[in-house]
Amino acid sequence: MPVIDAHAHLYPPEVNASPAAWAAARGEAHWATLCTRVRKSGRPVQGFPSVADLLRAMDAADVERVVLLGWYWEKPETCAWQNRFYAECLRLHDDRVSAFAALHPEAGLAAVREEISRAMDAGFSGVGELSPHSQGIPVDDPVLGEALAFAGELGLAVNFHVTEPDSKDYPGKIATPLADFARLARAYPETTFIWAHWGARAALDPGIGAEVRALNNVFFDTAASPLTYPPKIWREMADAVGAGRILFGTDFPLVLYPARETEPCMLSLADEARTSELDDDELAAILCGTARRVLGI
């Protein structure tokens, strides 16, 4: 059964060589807090693989394509820099790699529209992973709104980072109120939204769940699932919204099973999906079909 990993991250060699020093020099402290920390065991929360390492991890897990998501950087210039790196990844490996563009509204409307247009021309499939809450941007920011509308006009999906409100505290955790994302989905009905990390189970929420389930332009990815949710989440979300609204994503290169793994791996989460209570049609949709349909890849 084909697999598309619709939520992964990758960084250029200068980041991988010394992540903390690079972040300090770039003024990307929040990224450093999240991505260079270690667990209580002393092991890193994630790896910093090269493009070649990514391709090997894909082959080991029989992943036919990966979608590289941008980061919610603090500096607009870092967003543009990552987008150039991803464009080169697409140029060299367009048979295996797709990408989403990073954006920061503080760049201004003209620059943001130009960045989205450039990404479209380079073959990108979407925009994100966005997190206005992490960037200190109001969700009603007019530049953000124009970016969401423009992405919709171009047929580019938009991925939002959504934090589980009931998860344990960790360094760098930022609250992302679910109602904010629902409001944006209502305001831009022509734009396709993907809420990362199961959308913090918004579709199951007793308060906002019914509204979320009715938002047909909202989809959900499974990124980092085992770090927050038990395996029953697959069945619960499929029952709530249907497998046709769920995209498989790992959040590679996060280490998803730190109790038993020391390196990032795509295969383990795919195996969790395969051993869940999903039937074959649901599994096919989540592992590949929804991404192909929604992202056109």
pTM score above 0.95: yes
Question: Which 8-state DSSP code applies to residue 95?
Answer: T
Q: Which domain holds residue 134?
A: 3-295
The CATH number covering residue 65 comes to 3.20.20.140
pLDDT of residue 169: 86
Q: Based on the number of CB atoms within 10 Å of its own CB, is 25 exposed (0-12), middle (13-18) or buried (19 or more)?
A: exposed
pLDDT of residue 92: 98
Instruction: Please list the pLDDT of the chain residue by residue as tens digits (297 residues).
Output: 899 999 999 999 999 999 999 999 999 999 999 999 999 899 999 999 999 999 999 999 999 999 999 999 999 999 999 999 999 999 999 999 999 999 999 999 999 999 999 999 999 999 999 999 999 999 999 999 999 999 999 999 999 999 999 888 888 999 999 999 999 999 999 999 999 999 999 999 999 999 999 999 999 999 999 999 999 999 999 999 999 999 999 999 999 999 999 999 999 999 999 999 999 999 999 999 999 999 999
Task: Measure the CA–CA gap between 160 and 181, rounded to whole angstroms.
Answer: 8
- For Cα atoms 180, 185, 189, give the angle at the middle one, nearest 5 degrees: 155
User: In the chain, how many domains are there?
Assistant: 1
User: SS3 for 3?
Assistant: strand
Q: Which of 215, 272, 270 is nearest to 240 (CA)?
A: 215
| Residue type present at position 140 | D
Q: Which residues of 87-116 are buried (b: 16+ CB within 10 A; e: fewer)?
A: bebbeebeebbbbbbbbbbbbeeebbeebb
Task: Measure the CA–CA gap between 18 and 13, rounded to whole angstroms.
Answer: 9
